[in-house]
Amino acid sequence: MEIFGQNVFSQDVMRERLPKAVYKNLKKTIDEGLPLDPSIADVVATAMKEWAIERGATHFTHWFQPMTGVTAEKHDSFITPTDAGIMMEFSGKELIKGEPDASSFPSGGLRATFEARGYTAWDCTSPAFLREEADVVTLCIPTAFCSYTGEALDKKTPLLRSMEALSTQALRILRLFGNQTANRVTSTVGPEQEYFLVDKSFFEERLDLMMAGRTLFGAMPPKGQELEDHYFGTIKERVVSYMKEVNTELWKLGVTAKTQHNEVAPSQFEIAPIFETTNIATDHNQLVMDTLKRVALRHDMVCLLHEKPFAGVNGSGKHNNWSMSSSDGQNLLEPGHTPHENAQFLTFLMATIKAVDEYAGLLRMTCANAGNDHRLGANEAPPAIISVFLGEQLADIMEQIEKGGAKSSKKGTDMQIGVTTLPALPKDTTDRNRTSPFAFTGNKFEFRMVGSTFSISGPNVIINTIIAEVLRQFADKLEKSKDFSADLQKLLQETAKKHKRIVFNGNNYSDEWVAEAKKRGLPNIPSTPEALKELIKKESVELFTRHKVFTEKEIHARYEIVVEQYVKTLNIEALTMIDMAKQSIMPAATSFITEVAQSISSVAAVSSKIDVSAQKETLEEASKLLSAMNKNVKALQKALDNALAIEDLAKQATAFREKVFAQMLALRADGDALEKIVSADYWPMPTYAEMLFIL
């Protein structure tokens, strides 16, 4: 209790340190989304500075989330020269607006270099915090980042816009249900974060881990995760002590680190906080990832956030638990106790189902990157097909709605929507479907496709916006209605009929589902280059511009950025593989082959009667693999050169996927086969067995 939030300029601290009127003014902006009153900025800045300096801060930074996926910061000290010497100053202007030279951040062509200015703008809805690293304390101010001309260049701006859109539309629905008290609806998120830990000494001996965050070579050890003895197993001492420090750091930052456990794969773990408003949850998830990485180094370990650090073993995801809550304290996805509450719940539920069905491609798109391509469709990862899990009881209710159920009637404020009462829905893990990409879990949806490295901003921008859109359609219809109850029933019935195809309660990992989904006409988009195209479809542009989440220009810029990131990632991986093959694996194999050959001639020199068939076989096999590897290195280089020569970005990405990536797999197969026969004394890098089982 003492350390929790101690490094946060929280509402409590503000209440204590700000003049009453200023505090009230600011709180209104934070709680109700009203525009920030610039005249209070100086007062807030001074209070913030004093608080920070008391805690040892010398610098401040606007902390923002450019399109790189990680956070960015540029530190400025508080020192300001005056006639009397040095003062520690921090003005309202500095709090509200920053002007980093932003020419080196990805902008997708939004910002020409001659107009390199970018702006950061204070997001007062996410609290400022102090970051302690070694003996340096820095005041970090969460900010949005945009171009000189006002286009969003970051992950925060569209998220805030999408939350606004959702609030506007959800309130319209609440009003239709007679709610006059709520003045805001916010989306809430609790992201579960998976990660791997490896000993730092191993990491440093693996060029692939250092360059790409995942192993590009590596044969499977005799033991993987098949004994299922790691999941929820007792946590090793070195790891708990790491987790303890991670928790302490996060608690200081006001992050509610709550759950931690061993995950399925050896050396894989999970941390989950308690859910919060999406904006803050997104900032906090960035802090979680950052803290996991930084604290690991203090324990001589490296935290791998990559979606698939080890081929053949489970990958890491991020389960995005999502719901909506109204300012009068309702969770809008919580089934109610009265028919009235149930009708409202079912309206939001059916809206979600319709949104997921209609915009499945966008949901798939938002989880697409080079790393997640290794995961989607693989073991313990959701397949690339989007579907919704409802559970038996709700699926049954949806069926009743579809059939029409009871007749419409209206008594007082109660209404019937085909079913008057809902059973108490189990919220525990017993009725869970672990394979569904979009699962209803009692009072929230869990979107499981998100990759472990992702900022959760992207997925939540999509979820918020697509649900806002369906709620808009619902509200447009129902606001004109003369008989709300009857028309609501009709609307829900139509929705159930039309969108039941997206509901699937079975095993998403089965081949039957792939076939069944195809029959139902559900999209199955296997790779990133294909998935990303969803973003620039006409329907997507319409959706985002209607709700003012992105302008058309911003959409195209973003598309360009993510496709480029995909290409760059694969390019780095391919180059790393070539280096590893040429500089370590092939030389090691050559030395080994030389030793074997020498053994054959040495033994023969002693006596021609001694059997050297073992050496000969090994010599032959190793030489064959070495020569195959040599060919495949050249083939990869060629595929890479060809892909790099393609000018059209989308075509280039496809070439990387189809040609470069395929060639990488072939090269890896040679390397992994060599690892199995080359003497361990010669093998130039730590093996899977060492990396996965030594902690």
DSSP E strands: which ranges in 41-78?
57-63, 75-77
- Among ligand ADP, Mg ion, none, what binds residue 49 when CB lies within 5 to 8 Å by partner kind? none
Contact 119, 146 (CB under 8 A): yes
The DSSP H or E segment spanning 9 is: none
- Among ligand ADP, Mg ion, none, what binds residue 190 when CB lies within 5 to 8 Å by partner kind? ligand ADP
Give whichever of 330 and 687 is closer to ligand ADP, judged by the CB atom: 330
Q: Draw the binding track, 183-202, toward Mg ion (x: CB under 5 A; -: no contact).
A: ---------x----------
> Is there binding between residue 443 and ligand ADP (CB under 6 A)?
yes
Contact region for ligand ADP (CB under 6 A) — 184-192, 397-405, 551-559, 675-683? 184-192
CB of 681 to Mg ion, least distance (A): 41
Q: Which position has the token pair 């730590």?
A: 686
| Per-residue three-class SS string for 349-388 | HHHHHHHHHHCHHHHHHCCCCCCHHHCCCCCCCCCCECCE
CB of 164 to ligand ADP, least distance (A): 18
Give whichever of 192 and 276 is closer to Mg ion, judged by the CB atom: 192
Which residue from 90, 322, 656, 661 is in contact with ligand ADP, where contact means CB under 6 A?
A: 322
| Residue 300 backbone class (left: φ over 0; alpha: ψ -120 to 50; beta: rest) | left
> Is there binding between residue 331 and ligand ADP (CB under 6 A)?
yes
The amino acid that residue 185 corresponds to is V
Which residue from 162, 186, 323, 436 is in contact with ligand ADP, where contact means CB under 6 A?
A: 323
Q: DSSP per residue over 627-693, as a string? A: HHHHHHHHHHHHHHHHHHH--SHHHHHHHIIIIIHHHHHHHHHHHHHHHHHS-TTT--S--HHHHHH
- Among Mg ion, ligand ADP, none, what binds residue 322 when CB lies within 5 to 8 Å by partner kind? ligand ADP
Which residue from 34, 87, 274, 297 is in contact with ligand ADP, where contact means CB under 6 A?
A: 274
Distance separating alpha carbons of residues 382 and 448, to the nearest angstrom: 7
**Within positions 291 to 320, which residues make up the interface with Mg ion, using CB under 5 A?**
none
The amino acid that residue 284 corresponds to is H
Nearest to 69, CA basis, from 325, 385, 341, 318: 318
- Per-residue b or e along 65-77, where b marks 16 or more CB atoms closer than 10 Å to that residue's CB: bbbebebbbeeee
> Is there binding between residue 272 and ligand ADP (CB under 6 A)?
yes
Check residue 500 and report its DSSP letter: G
Which residue from 59, 206, 319, 374 is in contact with ligand ADP, where contact means CB under 6 A?
A: 319
> Is there binding between residue 349 and ligand ADP (CB under 6 A)?
no
Q: Which residue has the CB atom at the shortest distance from ligand ADP? A: 190
> Is there binding between residue 463 and ligand ADP (CB under 6 A)?
no
- Among Mg ion, ligand ADP, none, what binds residue 183 when CB lies within 5 to 8 Å by partner kind? none
Nearest to 32, CA basis, from 331, 278, 327: 327
Contact 667, 647 (CB under 8 A): no
Residues 558, 562, 567: CA angle, nearest 5 degrees: 145
- Among Mg ion, ligand ADP, none, what binds residue 90 when CB lies within 5 to 8 Å by partner kind? none
- Among ligand ADP, Mg ion, none, what binds residue 189 when CB lies within 5 to 8 Å by partner kind? ligand ADP
Nearest to 375, CA basis, from 307, 424, 284, 325: 307
Q: Draw the binding track, 420-439, toward ligand ADP (x: CB under 6 A; -: no contact).
A: ---------x----------
> Is there binding between residue 505 and ligand ADP (CB under 6 A)?
no
Query: Which residues neighbour 226 within 8 Å (Cβ) at sequence distance 6 or greater?
Result: none
CB of 299 to ligand ADP, least distance (A): 23
Contact 45, 539 (CB under 8 A): no
Distance separating alpha carbons of residues 592 and 661, to the nearest angstrom: 29
Sign of CA dihedral 258, 262, 264, 269: positive
- Among Mg ion, ligand ADP, none, what binds residue 259 when CB lies within 5 to 8 Å by partner kind? ligand ADP
Give whichever of 234 and 429 is closer to ligand ADP, judged by the CB atom: 429
Give whichever of 505 and 623 is closer to ligand ADP, judged by the CB atom: 505
> Is there binding between residue 668 and ligand ADP (CB under 6 A)?
no
Contact region for ligand ADP (CB under 6 A) — 187-195, 243-251, 378-386, 526-534? 187-195
Which residue from 188, 268, 330, 347 is in contact with ligand ADP, where contact means CB under 6 A?
A: 188
Interacting residues with Mg ion (CB under 5 A): 192
Interacting residues with ligand ADP (CB under 6 A): 188-190, 192, 259, 272-275, 319, 321-323, 331, 429, 443-444, 446
